[in-house]
Structure 1
Amino acid sequence: MSELYDKWLHAYVEAEKDPRSLSASPCPSCGRPALRLLFVVPADDTSVGRAEFWCDHCRKGVFFSRVTVPAHGDFVTMEQRRATPREKVARYEIIPPTVHPG
């Protein structure tokens, strides 16, 4: 696992415990307190979904599938996500779990 991905994973674990704490949490890539966490869930079960975790400043982040949505976690349904105009969906560079030599 890459060192940077490991930092993102640790930051996600902390954010998942209390999503409201994100405003003070530094980004694992740039250090700025600009992290965002959004869960995309099926309309019929908002307890499980995909986590999208990124920095609004440097536009880097990670995502995880099949995670439990914590209390106080921000979420949108898959249908709402599909209906969101493309320019309003957060775009970020995904930090991969492993780095392969170029």
Structure 2
Amino acid sequence: MSEIYEKWLREYGRVFNDPRSLRTRPCPSCGRPGLRLLFNVHRTDRSVGWAEFWCDNCRKGIFFSRVSVPDWGESVTTEEKRALSSGEAPEYETIPPTTYSD
């Protein structure tokens, strides 16, 4: 697993355990605060989905599936995401779990 991806996963764990810190935690890529987290859920089961975790500053981030969606989590269905531009994740560079050198 790439080192930067592991940093993003650790940061996700910190934010998941302390959601109030989301906007103030430093980005694993650029070091500036401004992280965002959005859970994409199915319209009939909002308890499980996939997470999009990115930085508003450098526009880098990760996504992964089959995560529990916490009560505090901002979530959106695919249908809602298409209809609402304010709640959707912007374009960001996805950091892969592995690199060619791994």
When normalised by structure 2's length, the TM-score is 0.89
Structure-1 separation of matches of 2:46 and 2:17: 17
Structure-2 separation of matches of 1:40 and 1:17: 19
- Structure 1 residue aligned with 2:82: 82
Pairwise CA distance, 1:89: 4.3
**Unaligned segments of structure 2, at least 5 residues:** none
Structure-1 separation of matches of 2:53 and 2:41: 14
> Letter of the aligned partner of 2:16 in structure 1?
E
Matched, 1:31 2:31: yes
Q: 1:18-57, CA deviations, whole angstroms, 9 ceiling, x for partnerless residues? A: 3221121000000000100000101111111110000000
When normalised by structure 1's length, the TM-score is 0.89
Pairwise CA distance, 1:72: 0.7
Aligned length: 99
Q: Which has the higher helix share?
A: 1
Structure-2 separation of matches of 1:4 and 1:78: 28
Structure-2 separation of matches of 1:21 and 1:65: 22
Structure-1 separation of matches of 2:12 and 2:72: 15
**Structure 1 consecutive aligned stretches of length 4 or more whose deviation exceeds 3 Å:** none
Superposed CA RMSD in Å reads 1.4
Task: For 1:1-102, list aligned pairs within 5 A.
Answer: 1-84=1-84, 89-101=89-101
